[in-house]
């Protein structure tokens, strides 16, 4: 009786002897984790400069209806700074809101949230940042802002690689709104807005 | 009756070693699971050394620079966009221009050789994560990246296990926020009621019929 009980325990254990083998099966097959392909910002052992994202050769243009000489892409009409928006850009509240979010992200660090040139980088750095509120910039063509964002000016770097052309136009439009906000004629305000101003709100 | 081979206490030794064996197996499995979930394996909260000790805390929390200033493609592309050296130099050609910590950046700008940063969030190559769709549907940076604005050196905030991804794909209302709060690091999901968040899910047209948990949503 005792023998048979003991034997059955052994048999049961022996039947489970394959379980440790499972550890071999669940082991580390990570070859699909790292496939022989490039993802953005990968390191490359193939290209001499070591980067998978190769800079495009000079004069490369995207494949579509892209026209590098159009007012949309240059901010210029026949070589002169554009004094109106290109036909692809529709002026509406959504464009202004978009421009505001782009301005606050890309321009405000230096130019400040209201465009007075008192952004946090200007505050910390040794340089003077141009205020957007002067007669020269209030009267300049709107294409000028597009041109400066695209090509940079003075100590300001080009933002062409970071801000797509459509967003640059949105920022240019928002800059106009900022200028109006700091230089509005009291006569333009409605009575309700005047009361808000007087109440200090 | 044959002679006894084993002494009487053999029974006890046998049962004790049986118990010990079971405990060893259970303990080994528990230790492996624990290791699998621990920062030793997941790297959660473990800051990596970088060629430049870049501080998100300083740039985001103290200087209030928008995430998109450096991660410019996060709303348009699959990757958030790693800043080019030019982006660093937009400011650092003017501020901290002689800092030895930034020597790597200046050299990179002069020579065109990229700065080789150490990747923090490394998904397996069979996962196709897309930043732009998450941002467009009201999932904030901090949902996956934690309080990056409080970190000096960047560290992972999530182990990125599939179950964690699926948790949100099953119940997006637990994590969704208004689109204009996506880049707000201090957003608290409980500042909206569940009903308000469910309304956002409908407004942003996030499918709730289970499509989001199909394999091919993330694996192709």
Question: How many cross-chain Cβ pairs, A to B, lie less than 8 Å apart?
Answer: 72
Residue A28 confidence (pLDDT): 57
Residues of chain B contacting residue A51, judged by C-beta atoms under 8 Å apart:
114
What is chain B's alpha carbon radius of gyration, rounded to the nearest angstrom?
25
Among A104, A161, A163, beta carbon nearest to B84? A161
ipTM comes to 0.83
Distance from the A126 Cα atom to the nearest Cα atom in chain B, whole angstroms: 7
Residue A124 confidence (pLDDT): 84
Residue A66 confidence (pLDDT): 76
Q: Is B44 helix (H, G, I), strand (E, B) or coil?
A: strand
**A62 close contact with B: CB closer than 8 A:** no
Residues of chain B contacting residue A17, judged by C-beta atoms under 8 Å apart:
none
Q: Give the pLDDT confidence of B1-18 residue by residue, as tens digits.
A: 567 788 888 999 999 999
- 10 Å CB burial of residue B16 (0-12, 13-18, 19+) is exposed
User: Domain limits of chain B?
Assistant: 10-37, 56-82+117-218
Task: Tell me if A121 and B112 make a contact (CB, 8 A cut-off).
Answer: no
- A122-126, B177-181, B194-198 — which is least confidently predicted? A122-126
Q: pLDDT > 70: what percent of chain B?
A: 99
Are B123 and B165 a contacting pair, CB within 8 Å? no
Q: Is the pLDDT of residue B88 over 70?
A: yes
Q: Minimal Cα distance from B78: which residue of A?
A: A40
Among B18, B69, B125, beta carbon nearest to A109? B69
Residues of chain A contacting residue B98, judged by C-beta atoms under 8 Å apart:
none
Domains of chain A by start residue, with CATH:
90-195 (1.10.760.10)
Task: Tell me if B126 and A32 make a contact (CB, 8 A cut-off).
Answer: yes
Among A13, A125, A164, beta carbon nearest to B94? A125
Mean pLDDT to the nearest integer, B68-72: 95
**A80 close contact with B: CB closer than 8 A:** no
B169-175, Cβ contacts within 8 angstroms, sequence gap of 24 or more: B169/B212, B169/B213, B169/B217, B170/B212, B170/B213, B172/B137, B172/B139, B172/B201, B172/B206, B172/B208, B172/B212, B173/B197, B173/B198, B173/B200, B173/B201, B175/B139, B175/B143
Helix B85-92 and helix B103-111: axis angle, to 10°? Answer: 120
Task: Tell me if A33 and B90 make a contact (CB, 8 A cut-off).
Answer: no
Substitution target from B87, B95, B116 for chain A, most A beta carbons within 10 A: B95
Q: Is the pLDDT of residue B27 over 90?
A: yes
Confidence of residue B184 (pLDDT cuts 50, 70, 90): very high
Among B68, B114, B119, beta carbon nearest to A105? B68
- Using alpha carbons, list the distances in angstroms from residue B48 to A73, B35, B39, B44, B59: 41, 19, 13, 11, 18
**B91 close contact with A: CB closer than 8 A:** yes
Mean pLDDT to the nearest integer, B102-106: 95
Residues of chain B contacting residue A32, judged by C-beta atoms under 8 Å apart:
124-126
Residue A4 confidence (pLDDT): 61
Q: Is the pLDDT of residue B60 over 90?
A: yes
Mean pLDDT to the nearest integer, B77-83: 91
Q: Is the pLDDT of residue B116 over 80?
A: yes
Q: Give the pLDDT confidence of B28-53 residue by residue, as tens digits.
A: 999 999 999 999 988 898 898 999 99
Among A109, A155, A159, beta carbon nearest to B93? A155
Spatial separation of the C-alpha atoms in residues B208 and B24, rounded to whole Å: 44
Q: pLDDT > 90: what percent of chain B?
A: 82
Residues of chain A contacting residue B72, judged by C-beta atoms under 8 Å apart:
162-163
Residue A3 confidence (pLDDT): 59
Substitution target from B2, B62, B76, B114 for chain A, most A beta carbons within 10 A: B114
Quote the distance between the C-alpha of residue B32 and its chain's center: 21
Residue A150 confidence (pLDDT): 95
Confidence of residue B170 (pLDDT cuts 50, 70, 90): very high
Bridge partners of A80?
A77
Spatial separation of the C-alpha atoms in residues B34 and B40, rounded to whole Å: 10
Bridge partners of A76?
A81
Among A35, A41, A50, beta carbon nearest to B82? A41
Spatial separation of the C-alpha atoms in residues B137 and A145, rounded to whole Å: 31
Residue B107 confidence (pLDDT): 95
Task: Tell me if A105 and B69 make a contact (CB, 8 A cut-off).
Answer: yes
Spatial separation of the C-alpha atoms in residues B139 and B144, rounded to whole Å: 9
Which residues in chain A show pLDDT less than 70?
1-7, 22-30, 65, 201
**A161 close contact with B: CB closer than 8 A:** yes
Spatial separation of the C-alpha atoms in residues A88 and A166, rounded to whole Å: 9
**A105 close contact with B: CB closer than 8 A:** yes
Residue A27 confidence (pLDDT): 52
Residue B138 confidence (pLDDT): 95
């Amino acid at each position: 009786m005792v023998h048979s009980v003991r034997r059955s325990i052994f048999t049961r254990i022996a039947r489970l002897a394959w379980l440790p083998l499972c550890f071999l099966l669940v082991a580390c097959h990570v070859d699909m984790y790292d496939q022989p392909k490039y993802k953005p910002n990968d390191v490359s052992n193939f290209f001499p400069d070591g980067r998978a994202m190769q800079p495009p050769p000079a004069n490369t243009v995207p494949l579509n209806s892209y026209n590098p000489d159009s007012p949309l892409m240059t901010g210029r009409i026949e070589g002169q700074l554009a004094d109106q928006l290109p036909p692809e850009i529709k002026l509406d509240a959504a464009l202004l809101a978009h421009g505001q979010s782009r301005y606050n992200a890309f321009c405000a660090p230096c130019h400040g949230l209201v465009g007075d040139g008192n952004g946090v980088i200007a505050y910390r750095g040794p340089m003077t940042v141009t205020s957007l509120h002067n007669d020269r910039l209030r009267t300049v063509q709107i294409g000028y802002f597009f041109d400066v964002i695209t090509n940079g000016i003075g100590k300001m770097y080009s933002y062409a690689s970071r801000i797509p052309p459509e967003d640059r136009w949105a920022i240019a439009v928002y800059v106009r709104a900022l200028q109006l906000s700091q230089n509005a004629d009291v006569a333009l305000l409605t009575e309700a807005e005047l009361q808000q101003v007087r109440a200090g709100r | 009756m044959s002679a006894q081979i084993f002494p009487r206490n053999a029974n006890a030794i046998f049962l004790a070693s049986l118990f010990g064996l079971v405990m060893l197996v259970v303990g080994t499995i528990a230790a492996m699971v624990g290791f699998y979930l621990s920062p030793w394996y997941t790297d959660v909260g473990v800051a990596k050394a970088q060629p430049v000790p870049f501080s998100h805390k300083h740039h985001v929390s103290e200087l209030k620079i928008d995430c998109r200033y450096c991660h410019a493609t996060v709303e348009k592309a699959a990757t958030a966009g790693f800043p080019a050296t030019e982006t660093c130099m937009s400011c650092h050609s003017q501020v901290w221009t002689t800092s030895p910590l930034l020597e790597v950046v200046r050299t990179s700008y002069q020579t065109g050789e990229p700065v080789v940063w150490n990747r923090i969030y490394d998904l397996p190559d069979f996962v196709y994560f897309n930043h732009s769709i998450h941002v467009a549907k009201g999932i904030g940076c901090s949902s996956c990246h934690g309080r990056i604005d409080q970190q000096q050196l960047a560290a992972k905030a999530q182990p990125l296990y599939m179950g964690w991804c699926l948790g949100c794909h099953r119940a997006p209302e637990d994590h969704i926020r208004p689109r204009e709060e996506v880049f707000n690091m201090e957003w608290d999901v409980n500042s909206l009621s569940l009903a308000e968040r469910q309304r956002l899910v409908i407004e942003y047209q996030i499918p709730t019929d289970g499509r989001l948990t199909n394999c091919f949503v993330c694996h192709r």
